[in-house]
Structures are given as C-alpha cells and as structure tokens.
Structure 1
Amino acid sequence: MNHVVWTQWSDLDVPDGITLLGPDTAPLDSDAIKDVTFYVPPYMTGHAGLAPVNSMPKLQYLQMPNAGYDDAIEYRREGLDICNARGVHDISTAELALTLTLSSLRGIDDFVRAQPSGDWLQGPRPSLAYKRVGLVGYGSIGKTIASLLAPFHVDLVPFNRSGSDGATTMDQLDSLLPTFDVVILILPATPETTKLFDAKRLSLMKDGALLVNVARGVIVDTDALVQELNSGRIRAALDVMDPEPLPADHPLWQVPGVIISPHVGGNSSAFEPGMRALLATQLDRLAQGQEPMNIVVRGMAGQE
C-alpha cells in the first residue's frame, strides 16, 4: 500500500510509494493531515506534537522521535503501533551522562560559580577513575554510556530486569547500592520504575555518592532527593526532573550539591542526522511492505 508520511523535514528523499508531508504542505492544524499513515511528531513538542494523532484516522504508525515513549501511551488505539527512536539518542545522552558525572565529581559547578568573584578554588577533587559505578538500565543508551566509561577503569555494574547481556538483575539493586560511588539512571519510565529511587532507596546510597539521572524525572522521588541533598550526604546531577519544567521557586534549585540541566540529553546536533537515518530505513521498509523497526507498543493488543 501507499503510505502518507508526515515529518518535520520536507526534504527527505522518499522511495516510490511514499507521499511526504510536512509543515509547509500540511500544517498540523489543517485537514490535510487526515490521510497520514505514518506520523513523526516534531521533536521536543511534547503533548502538543502528539495531539494531532487524534485527527489522523488512517494513522498506522506513530514514530516517536525519542527513545522514551511514556507520553505516547495515552494515544494508543486499535490499529496504531508506536515506534521509538532506539539508537538515535544513544551517543548524545551518553555524552551528557558522562559530562554531568565528571562535572559533579571534579567540581566544575563550584568553579563556574566562583569565576565572577575570581575565587581560586584549588584543591583535590574526586576522580571518576577507579570508582565503582552502578548503571541502572542497560539498553541501547546504557550500553553506550558503558562504552564511554571504559577508559576510566571503573568497576561497572550494569542492571536490567532480565539480567541479559551480562547485567545484574534489578532484584539485587538494594543489596549493591551501598557499594557504589556513582549511580547512573537510564531506564524507561513505567509504573514499576516510577519513584524507584524513593526515600528508602536513596538512603541506601553510600555517603558521598553521586546520583546521575538522564532517564526520566519520575524515577526519582523529588521530595526525598531534596531532603537527602539538604543533608549533604549525597550529591546529584540531573538532566530530568519531576516536575518539568522545574518551577523557578522549586527547592531543588537551591539545595547544595546538585547540578541541573534542563532535559537536553538528546537535544543536540547529533539528533537530526541520527533521526534522518532512522527515517530513511523506516520509509524504505514501508515502501517494501514491511513493518517499521522499533515497534514498542502494538495497536491491536495495546501492549508493549
């Protein structure tokens, strides 16, 4: 069958059998989108980018531009499969995970704050080298983070649900948490992972440990984290928070020992070439009558 595809890029090279629409030819608030069968929401538009799904009665595939797809679940329906952007954000998010880790350990945030007053904050700082690191989440991005950590000679313990690929199973997390100098979170937001790091689990982290979250904000209990950071017992470096955007008067902005970046893990110059490459593969598969890759939610059953 022929497919009608909507993406934010109107200059994609598409194979025969694919009709390409975009913002110039079919604005998302127009009737022109009613024939779309494969939709890619504009990147970083959240629910505003997902809402047009309700005006696409022929839609068969919702191709998320993110690795996470929790915000798309409410739009699932019979006959509509949801695909994620597995692989597209691996290196960009892994870069930021490493950046946040190194910045916190080496005190880059303190140096930046001292710069306007000319304070010379010389003294020893913790190194990432030879630290014991817990990597909670060992999918595509997690494995890329692991590869970037390799030159630092860390003692790395990856975790996932199944124990596949040499990972430790999640049921061992609590017993091992007190042994880690750094804990990096890169797992999807699900009912099971929401507030996975609650007050009890945060209390299991060793004194002086660093928590790095490049996953989803809801995985950490924000109130419990604020309390731990105020005590000075642990540090944190966060690209994701709950809520987002973090209100200007939220106490998380003011607690000691935290670095905050505004959810920019995948939002780098690496996104466009990666996403274009994925879409080229997806459209070729559609033109050949095949399913696209990376289907994470089946429309008929409504299950992952």
Structure 2
Amino acid sequence: MKVDVEKVSVLVSIESDDRVGREILGQLPGVEVLPYDPAPARLNDMQRNAQILIPPYRGSHRPIPLVDQLPSLRMVQLLSAGVDEWAGHVPAGIVLASARGAHAGPVSEWIASAILTQFRQWPTLLQFQNEGTWAHRQFEADTLDGKRALIVGAGAIGTATARRLSVFGVEPTLVASAAREGVHGPEDLPRLARGHQIVVITVPLTNQTQRLINADFLASMDDSALLVNAARGQIVDTNALVSELETGRLRAALDVTDPEPLPSNHPLWRCKGVIISPHSARTVPGTNRLCYSVATEQISTFIAGKVPSNAASQVGVS
C-alpha cells in the first residue's frame, strides 16, 4: 500500500533514546519527522494527520491510546523484535512491522554471557569474593566445549546465538515454526529437549508459543541443564520452572519473566541456580541506532508501495 501524499509524516518520540531516529529519518527523502510525546495525551492537528507512528525505544506500549487519534494512520513501525505488545491494537488495513534483525547482536551477546556466567560459576565466585574467601577448588565450574544447545527460534537472534556458541565448541540444534535445511520443525521439539545441556528461547510470543516451555518439556530436560529465556516470559510456564529450580534439578538464566516486572516477593528471586536480568538483554549503547536503521529500511519499502519484510503477517517463529 503506497502512501499517496507529497510528504509522509512520521511520528517519532521526543525522548532522548529516540533522538537518533529523528536524525536518521529526517534524512529520508519525502519524509517529515513529527516529534511527539509517547505518554497518552492529545496530539496536535499536525500530529493527528501523520501516516506512520513509531512507538518509542523504551516502553513501546505507551502510545497505544494515541492510535484512535490518527485517522490517516497507515503503518505502525515498532523498534522491538516482536509485535506481541501491539498486535491486538492496530486496526485492520494498517501495516504493523517490527525491527527484527536489529537485536540479534546485543541479545545473542547477552545469551552467550549468561551461559558462560552459569557454567563458569560466577555467582558463586562473587559470593566467595564478598566473603573474602580464596575458594580454590571449592566450586565446580564447567566448560562449554562439547556441550549441545537447543535453540528454540531460528530467526536473527537464534542464528546469531548459534554462531556465537559455536565459537566455544557448542553444537547448536535449531528449531523454527517450519522445518527447513538444518532446522527442525516444532513437531520435533518434545523429543529434542533430552540430550541438550542448554536450551535457549528466542521465539516471538504468539498463540502457538505461549507456554511452549511447559511442565512436560521442563521435566524432559537433562538433569542440571540450563534454560535461557531471552524472548518473552509468557513462553515459559513460570510455576513449572519454579518447581524444577526449587529441587535444584535445572538451572536458568532469565532476561524476561512472567509476570513482569517480577514482584519482590516472587519465589523466582529465591530459587537457587537462577540469574535474572530486568528485560535488558538489548540494552547496550548503539542498539537504538540499529533499531532505527531497520525501521528506516522498512518505512522506505512501505513508502515505495511494497510490503516491508518485517510486516507482522510475515513475522513468525522463524
């Protein structure tokens, strides 16, 4: 759907993380950048005539109430890897696109660091350090070399994770929404849990992936296996995970949880063998620029009358 106007108006957040977006999009021919406040508020007349809305880099759900004020809206371009927060809020006929691909480097780096942290026992080492204890041979670290990692989600983040882990001698097994060369389909997932010392979750949240990692799957994982979730908390059955962690049979590294934010009295905080980061895997310098670079490509494609590669209809468990 080509936007048939002389100049396309794009709403970009006024917040500091989005400054780079205003700069990049401002250089795009035929585009007028309109700064806006993403907190629910009234848009002015010029803003209300915008054809494209970009939710902010942080807290992208906040401008959802503004959609009703945009009669000329033709596209919502997200800066996230998934579209789950917005999927039910965009009217029919309006293109919803993600920034899939932009997060692959930062998030796969977090995944690799989390796995190394758990296998090399850094939480235990820090406890000894805080106690002033020289703990030579008082802990059991492990190597990644020779381990097998089941990566559930073979999109940009999953494949980048596979490449990073291969450097450490890890053998990756990839699973996607449909089988292809070198990648298993979802029907193989139940039998693949066993025999992998690491399970990494990088799939988007959809009706098909909600609670994908359930009690049965967790029970089939090898003893002492590590579950890494860098996708969405709702993909994992939290109660089932807590039960496994409390026995000490499994370990986990979580960037996302269900619920989120995780309440201070939640049992996950007290489980042994788990490390938790506050949904911050992508939060390193430069990620916002990567997101806006992908967003600019998607918007350019849309303005040209073509379907953006990250349009929601094409975003799946890839």
TM-score between both structures, scaled by the size of structure 2: 0.87
* Equivalent residue number for residue 301 of structure 1: none
1:54 aligns with 2:64: no
Alignment of 1:26-37 (within 5 A): 29-32=42-45, 33-37=47-51
Distance (whole Å) between structure 2 residues aligned to residue 287 and residue 204 of structure 1: 48
Kindly provide the amino acid, as one letter, of the partner of residue 88 in structure 1.
A
Q: Which of 167-176 and 120-129 deviates more?
A: 120-129
Alignment of 1:201-216 (within 5 A): 201-216=217-232
Seen in structure 2, the aligned counterparts of structure 1 residues 36 and 114 have a Cα distance that, compared at 3 Å, is: farther
RMSD: 2.0
What SS does the corresponding residue of 1:91 show, helix, strand or coil?
helix
What SS does the corresponding residue of 1:88 show, helix, strand or coil?
coil
Alignment of 1:111-260 (within 5 A): 111-123=125-137, 124-260=140-276
1:278 aligns with 2:294: yes
* Equivalent residue number for residue 11 of structure 1: 23
Cα offset for 1:76? 2.1
Cα offset for 1:115? 2.3
Distance (whole Å) between structure 2 residues aligned to residue 14 and residue 68 of structure 1: 26
Cα offset for 1:285? 3.3
Distance (whole Å) between structure 1 residues aligned to residue 259 and residue 60 of structure 2: 14
Cα offset for 1:165? 4.2
Deviations 1:37-78 (A, max 9, x none): 111100121421333222212111110110111111111212
1:74 aligns with 2:79: no
Deviations 1:12-46 (A, max 9, x none): 3333322111138x996322421111111001214
Counting aligned pairs with the same residue, the percent is: 33
Runs of 5+ consecutive residues of structure 2 not aligned to the other structure: 14-18
Cα offset for 1:282? 3.4
**Contact map agreement 1:129 1:154 (CA 8 A) in 2:** yes
Distance (whole Å) between structure 2 residues aligned to residue 264 and residue 17 of structure 1: 34
Distance (whole Å) between structure 2 residues aligned to residue 125 and residue 248 of structure 1: 29
Seen in structure 2, the aligned counterparts of structure 1 residues 176 and 78 have a Cα distance that, compared at 3 Å, is: closer
Seen in structure 2, the aligned counterparts of structure 1 residues 165 and 65 have a Cα distance that, compared at 3 Å, is: farther
Q: Which residue of the other structure, out of 77, 89, 92, is the alignment partner of 2:106?
A: 92
Seen in structure 2, the aligned counterparts of structure 1 residues 100 and 29 have a Cα distance that, compared at 3 Å, is: farther
**Contact map agreement 2:40 2:65 (CA 8 A) in 1:** no
Equivalent residue pairs, number: 297
Distance (whole Å) between structure 1 residues aligned to residue 204 and residue 272 of structure 2: 27
Runs of 5+ consecutive residues of structure 1 not aligned to the other structure: 299-304
Deviations 1:122-174 (A, max 9, x none): 33411111101111110111111111111112122111121124111221222
Distance (whole Å) between structure 2 residues aligned to residue 102 and residue 178 of structure 1: 21
Cα offset for 1:119? 2.4
Seen in structure 2, the aligned counterparts of structure 1 residues 256 and 242 have a Cα distance that, compared at 3 Å, is: same
Deviations 1:166-196 (A, max 9, x none): 1112212221211111111111111111111
